[in-house]
Amino acid sequence: MIFSRAIACALLFAGFGASAAPCVAEGRGYALEKLSWSDLPDYDEKPGEALAVWRKSCGRLPLAPNLPEFNATAWKKACSAAQAGATDVFRRHFQPFRVVPDAAPDSFFTGYYQPEIPGSLTPTRAFPTPVYGRPPDLVTTTQLPGLTAARRGKGALEPYPDRAEIEDGALEPSGARKLVYLRDRADLFLAQVQGSARVRLPDGRIYRLGFAGRNGQPYTAIARILVQRGVSTPAEMTMPRLIAWLRSHGLEKGEEGDDLLRQNRSFVFFEGHFDKGAAQPEGASGAALTPLRSIAVDKALWPYGLPFYIDAALPWRSDAPEPFRRVTIAQDTGSAIVGPGRADIYFGLGDSAGLRAGALRHHGQFYLLLPKE
């Protein structure tokens, strides 16, 4: 039987009593359930940390054409209160909504970090793999079914080359700049999955890579393919194990590692600059990321700057899952972060952050905080 979105939403919350608010934002792949602050479990133990992160960039008004519930006037009022020193801004000026994806009963959380990998500004035998800047002919679009970017052909948009085509040289005529060179495609894949990287050059300098766009082709989780093949269980398939598998099975064309990489048609482009001494990298929003407070979201759905409350049991401080209940700020995006019930939590720099981030593949509840009059 086929239900309308409105009927499905009504059934979803049937039995929750008179206090359950009606769903809004129907027909967009998710619904929003209006809640009171008392409905949020153990509201953030340190909300001032999140407020400090939000305050730094709230002066930039989010562009929210797909979120009609967003109130720009209320946002400005809340931002003014925060910048004037108010401490209870979220409770006083925001309304919580539970994000209810159409296709799932809850939301899914992963973690990311900024790795440090070796590289060179010029190609050498040790560093032959180029990292590409955003091609000048790449345009973001929703006009081609299933794609989020394209390039202009002869008077019309056409699909951008996928990973396999790019690896075979399809970018050469585009004028895309080669920013830096890495050891192999495994290191490139690591940087692309994380959306950024610190590249340590032979002279010790750090060259930072930041997300600048992608080819718009569908993202395929190659770790899931290995799990389906029986190579590993989901719990054992960490990023270090995946990188090791790719290298051990060969990254030259026609070898198993390269064949697996090519199954992920998505390809990320970067912008780069020498390290300016900043403690943390910038997200795609342009704001400096804050460990365990900044999240990457699907920017087609959620504008940068929006605060979200996360309630989930995550292994965020040790191997054992424990409650993670805190306000986070949407400041970044990523190729694999697609859909309303998805968030990637930023853990910081280096291997220890990577260890914690790589352990996250957990479900929980995701709450959008919208400004109110």
pLDDT tens for the chain, 373 residues: list them: 222 222 233 223 233 233 333 344 446 899 999 999 999 988 776 779 999 999 999 999 998 988 999 999 999 999 999 999 999 999 999 999 999 999 898 999 999 999 999 999 999 999 999 999 999 988 887 778 878 888 877 778 888 999 999 999 999 888 899 999 999 999 999 999 988 899 999 999 999 998 898 999 999 999 999 999 999 998 788 888 999 999 999 999 999 999 999 999 999 999 999 987 778 888 889 899 999 999 999 998 999 999 999 999 999 999 899 999 999 999 998 877 999 999 999 999 988 899 899 889 999 999 999 999 8
For the entire predicted model, the pTM comes to 0.76
Q: 317: which 2 tokens?
A: 């401080």
> What is the third-level CATH fold of 113-274?
Ribosomal Protein L25; Chain P (2.40.240)
Cα–Cα distance for residue pair 249/262, rounded to 1 Å: 14
Cα–Cα distance for residue pair 177/316, rounded to 1 Å: 37
Do residues 114 and 197 make contact, with C-beta atoms less than 8 angstroms apart?
yes
Extents of the domains making up the chain: 35-111+291-371, 113-274
Q: At a CB cut-off of 8 Å and minimum separation 6, what does 46 contact?
A: 326
Is domain 35-111+291-371 annotated with CATH 3.20.20.70? no
Beta strands in 70-216 (DSSP E): 94-101, 107-114, 116-120, 129-132, 138-140, 149-152, 157-159, 178-182, 196-200, 206-214
Identical fold for domains 35-111+291-371 and 113-274, yes or no, is: no
